[in-house]
Amino acid sequence: MQPANASVRYHALDSLRGVMMLLGIYLHAICAYSNFPDVWWYKDARTSAFFDFNLLFIHIWRLPVFFVMAGFFAALLNERRGTGGFALNRAKRVLAPFALGLAVLWPLLQGLRRYTKVWSEPDALWTAVGYVFRGTYWKWLDPTHLWFLEVLLVLYVLALSFLPLARRIDETFLSGWIHRAFRAAVRSSWRPVVFAFPTFGTLCLMNLGVLDTLHSFAPAPHVVLAYGVFFGFGWLLYVHADLLPSFRKHAWKQIVAALLLGWPNFWFLLRQVQARPAVDALGFYGTAATGALAVWLMIFGCTGLFLRYLDRPIPRMRYLSDSSYWLYLFHPPVVFWSQVLVAGFAWPAWGKAVASLAISVPLLLASYHFLVRPTWIGALLNGRRHPRKTVTGYAITDLPATRICPQPE
């Protein structure tokens, strides 16, 4: 089943994908000031329960929204370029940055982590540098903050493997039933509840009823399955892109409803943590149920808001969307360094978080503008080199008339 208009450019969805990437920088900036252990490379002495709620609520829906967009643009790319072109493009734009990013970032992060352990010593800097050059940390290599690219690559392979079967299904009565069921579900006033059911099932496979992350290069089937639901929804949504205007309805109400659900979700999670090592069944299933409904409220709500307000060419949003890939890839050492820089100040947790972002974000944007955008790195991440211009000088005439695939990950 082919989409009604394959040549349409999806400005709002491109912006949404970019914002979800940039939101990851904020998420990691506040990790250092939350009470949750082992969620970031550095933990400050000043923490806040506000950031605990903030961290959990954003974690519920940020990557699911991103994977819906990834599935949508993957279907677009596959239709435009075919299976071979799709595979080559994803290898260049996802696999290569994943491998190169780990090769560059892992030593930097390990050096910074070592420095935080010895920074009171006179030769702390040289100790950290020596540790980096010894290279013993490579034996503990993990996907770090790029683990979602690993999941995405697995989903790309699964999608391409499934395409021959999908073509056969399209020749049977099942095809019409599947598409009619999807359209009916998306058109329903109860669509967040309908799609929450499969997500609730996948969340019940997780450790605490919230989405797990990967800490190794062996893809965990339950994590791939959970994100596969969102990816598959995005793929089908591209086929039925004519349904997108319906997302604008009740967008704000869905955002507010998800925010309200965040509080019982947080309470259920705390019940589990406090009950350990015992298992709190009410806490576990309550966390999974409220999280499953909240994530789909946010998927429909965020998509609707972006379609309502940003569904047109906006040069600044396009610039931020283009920059988001680089900013997310390279932000950990910059954010980490900024957190270490303000560690000695007797500021509250929120003050340190704001200072960390105020230091790191401008530096990251400057690095993108001068060192990435007009270079081969920009071509690798964005598909082509861009001239070095100010954001306000980024004219609509600089944009290609049809974008084959907004840099999705």
**pLDDT of 301 higher than 70:** yes
Q: How confident is the model at residue 196 (pLDDT cuts 50, 70, 90)?
A: very high
- pLDDT number for residue 121: 84
Average pLDDT, the chain: 89
Residue type, 137: Y
Q: How far apart are the first and last CA of the chain?
A: 26
pLDDT mean over 19-41: 91
The proportion of the chain whose per-residue pLDDT surpasses 90, expressed as a percent, equals 74
Q: Residue ranges of the domains in the chain?
A: 11-398
Whether the per-residue pLDDT at 164 is higher than 50: the answer is yes
pLDDT number for residue 7: 57
- At residue 4, the pLDDT reads 46
What is the pTM for the complete model shown?
0.91
At CA 56, angle to CA 347 and CA 246, rounded to 5?
125
User: Residues 45-58: pLDDT tens digits?
Assistant: 899 999 999 999 99
3-state DSSP helix/strand/coil percent for the chain, to nearest 5? 75, 0, 25
Label residue 308 exposed, middle or buried (CB < 10 Å: 0-12, 13-18, 19+): middle
Q: Which residue has the tokens 């900036």?
A: 29
> So what's the pLDDT on residue 175?
77
Residue 399 confidence (pLDDT) above 60: no
Burial of 172 (0-12, 13-18, 19+ CB in 10 A): exposed
Q: Which position has the higher pLDDT, 385 or 260? A: 260
pLDDT, tens digit, 9 for 90 and up, residues 268-293: 999 998 998 899 999 999 999 999 99
b/e map of 100-122 (b: 16 or more CB within 10 Å)? ebbeebbbbbbbbebbbeeeeee
* Kind and range of the H or E run holding 96: helix 96-118
CA–centroid distance for 398 within its chain: 27
DSSP output for 260-309: HHHHHHHHHHHHHHHHTTS--HHHHHHHHHHHHHHHHHHHHHHHHHHHHH
pLDDT value for 76:
95
* Residues 60 and 294 sit within 8 Å (Cβ to Cβ): yes
Instruction: Give the separation between CA 156 and CA 149, rounded to whole angstroms.
Output: 10
- As a whole number, mean pLDDT of residues 323-339 equals 94
